[in-house]
Structure 1
């Protein structure tokens, strides 16, 4: 099983690169982000490799980091997500941004990937939400707030404040982040009007 390849970039295509390793050319499937990050033809590149062995073929998938490879594996645990869709997602979202999007239940961010519709995006964020926080860089309180809003567990004043900001044109994730910051300053039991005013102050920074 191949876990890593280091060789000379021989040629590239829409979704692959050939790495020359000691005179042997390995065809490695990659996301568009990984291909864009590769050095120029003739230069040395190193890729973390995921090897798929089938009865009729062996396929290699390459990634710039081990974390990106781990997300490739995690994405494919979701029903309806295969290697092609997983690469498409990683082509538009780097690993940290994907973790944040899933942790915050940001389906729209995931749905930006080619071939990923709203239903698949919803399944990805729903089925991986318990695993994403370990990789996410966003505040844990914001993750919890977003989860509470999605599950309709958030206090009325909080939910109303987020809804008011969304009605003003702010994206849900940005609105939730501002209200989360307002909650930390105002404390539990703050009224909707107070949360909105403080959240708007946060958004204007």
Structure 2
């Protein structure tokens, strides 16, 4: 997926500056990008941008630490720096490549959204572009299901004990086809709402714990330099 995206960007290198210009322009003039739709405001652009970014990289949700807490390490700050790498790869590399590919191929003007939009962008440059996106999407979706299943399982175990794990797994499996066959707008609304419900208490906790985190981080990097 990354390789295919880079090839598209290389072959459309002359369009990249214009793509960045359009991104900046339409960020402050979203109604123009949406065909004059009255509801396309700067606030709406920010709302969807932040929501999609959080959905992608989980920044501020407190979910990724559930996985990183299982790592074998003698210092939480070291593991925290590893966790930051995941956000960088996801947002700066994967999402940036996807966004630029959609822009330079002109697929963003097609009216499509979601995976269909990305597939259209790849198909613009490759005869097998749809297959690239299909395989990548299957891998992304499968690993996402595994990851969030683990997060939920650990949360259920913490709240209700080990006996609640199997009922949770059953509900999780049942929910998969429901989510896959539901309308995209409903799935996004549900995801954004639940992400906000996760982020708010987590961010409050981060503010409370910030002094201790800063002290530990400072001590860790001071020791690394010594």
Q: Which structure features the higher share of strand residues?
A: 1
Judging by fraction of residues, say which structure has more helix.
Answer: 2
TM-score of the two chains, using structure 1 as the length reference: 0.28
